[in-house]
Structure 1
Amino acid sequence: MSRKRTLLITLDAFETLFHPRKPIADLYAAAANHYRFPRGAPPLTPEKIHSAFKETFKAQSSILPNYGRDAALAGKYAGPKQWWSEVVVDTLARASGSREEVPPHLVNTLLNRFASSDSYALYPDVDEFLRWMTTVKVFEGGEFDKIVVGVVSNSDDRVPAILSSLGKRVGPWRAPQYATGKKPPRIRGFEPSSFYSRLAQNPPPSSTWLEPSGKGRVQVPVFEEPNDFDLVITSFQAGFEKPKREIFAAAKDAARAMLGPEYACGKWVCVHAGDDYVKDYCAARDAGWDAYFLDRDGQGEHRHVDRRKRIRSLTDLVSVYLKKYSGHPAPGELAELLRSSNRALS
Structure 2
Amino acid sequence: MRAPLRWVLWDVKDTLLRVRSSVSEQYCDEARRVGLSLGPAEVDAAFRRAYGHHCSRFPNYGVAQGMDGKSWWTAVVKATFSHCGVRDPVLLTTVARNLYQNFGHAKNWEVFPDSKSALVSCTSLGLQLGVVSNFDNRLEAILCACGLRAHFDFLVTSEAAGVDKPNAAIFDQAIRKCGVPPGSVAHVGDHYVNDYVASRLAGIHGFLLDRKNDSDGRPVPREHRLSSLDELPARLKKHMDECS
Does the alignment reach a TM-score above 0.5?
yes
Question: Aligned-pair distance for 1:326?
Answer: 4.4
Note the residue ranges of structure 1 that are not aligned, 5 or more in a row: 38-42, 138-146, 171-226, 257-263, 328-346
User: Offset at 1:299?
Assistant: 2.5
**What pairs with 1:42-191 in structure 2 (closer than 5 Å)?**
43-72=37-66, 77=67, 79-95=68-84, 97-101=85-89, 102-137=91-126, 147-168=127-148, 170=149
- Output the CA distance in 1 between the equivalents of 2:96 and 2:182: 47
Distance in 1 of aligned mates of 2:128 and 2:63? 27
Post-superposition offset of 1:9: 0.8
Post-superposition offset of 1:303: 4.8
Instruction: Give the residue type in structure 1 aligned to 2:43.
Output: I
**Could you tell me how far 1:149 is from its partner in structure 2?**
0.7
Look up the equivalent residue of 1:162 and give its one-letter code.
Answer: I
Counterpart position of 1:310:
225
- Any conservation in 2 of the 1:292–1:311 contact (CA below 8 Å)? yes
The aligned residue for residue 33 of structure 1 is 32
Aligned length: 239
The alpha-carbon distance between structure 1 residues 36 and 275, as it changes in their structure 2 partners (threshold 3 A), is same
- 2:11 pairs with 1:12: yes
Say which SS state the counterpart of residue 131 (structure 2) adopts.
Answer: strand
Name the structure 2 match of 1:242.
165
Alpha-carbon contact 1:6-1:267 (below 8 Å) kept: no
Map residues 175-324 of structure 1 onto 2, 5 A cutoff.
Answer: 227-256=150-179, 269-324=184-239
Which is higher, the Rg of structure 1 or of structure 2? 1
The CA distance in 2 between the partners of 1:31 and 1:90, in whole Å, is: 15
Matching residue's letter, 2:123 = T
Deviation, structure 1 residue 107: 1.9
Q: TM-score, normalised by structure 2?
A: 0.90
**Which amino acid in the other structure matches residue 104 of structure 1?**
T
Describe the shift of the 1:322–1:229 C-alpha distance in structure 2 as closer, same or farther (beyond 3 A).
same
Distance in structure 2 (CA, Å) of the matches to 1:242 and 1:5: 25
RMSD of aligned C-alpha atoms? Answer: 2.1
User: Which AA in structure 1 matches 2:8?
Assistant: I
| Amino acid of the structure 2 residue aligned with 1:17 | L
The answer (yes or no) to whether the contact 2:114–2:230 under 8 Å persists in 1 is: yes
Q: State how far apart, in whole Å, the 2-side matches of 1:277 and 1:14 are.
A: 14
- SS state at 2:48 partner: helix
Q: 1:24 — aligned with what?
A: 23
Letter of the 1:25 partner, please give it. Answer: S
State the distance in 1 between where 2:78 and 2:241 align. Answer: 55
Query: 1:279 deviation in Å?
Result: 0.9
Contact 1:8–1:268 (CA under 8 A) maintained in structure 2: no
Query: Distance between the aligned counterparts of 1:301 and 1:53, measured in 2?
Result: 30
Contact 1:12 1:153 in 2 (8 A): yes
**Following TM superposition, by how much is the alpha carbon of 1:157 offset from its aligned partner in structure 2, in angstroms?**
1.3
Query: Which SS does the other structure have where 1:323 is aligned?
Result: helix
Shift of 1:283: 0.7
In structure 1, C-alpha distance between the alignment counterparts of 2:100 and 2:121, rounded to whole Å: 33
Percentage identity across paired residues of the two chains: 31
Distance in structure 2 (CA, Å) of the matches to 1:13 and 1:132:
17
Richer in helix (by share): 2
Amino acid aligned to 1:236? E
Are the equivalent residues in 1 in contact too, given 2:166–2:195 (CA < 8 A)?
yes
Can you give the 5+ residue segments of structure 2 that lack an aligned partner in the other structure? none
Q: Contact (CA 8 Å) 1:277, 1:302: kept in 2 or not?
A: no
CA distance in 1, matches of 2:215, 2:41: 25
User: Per the alignment, in what secondary structure is the counterpart of residue 132 of structure 2?
Assistant: strand
2: distance between equivalents of 1:83 and 1:165?
A: 23
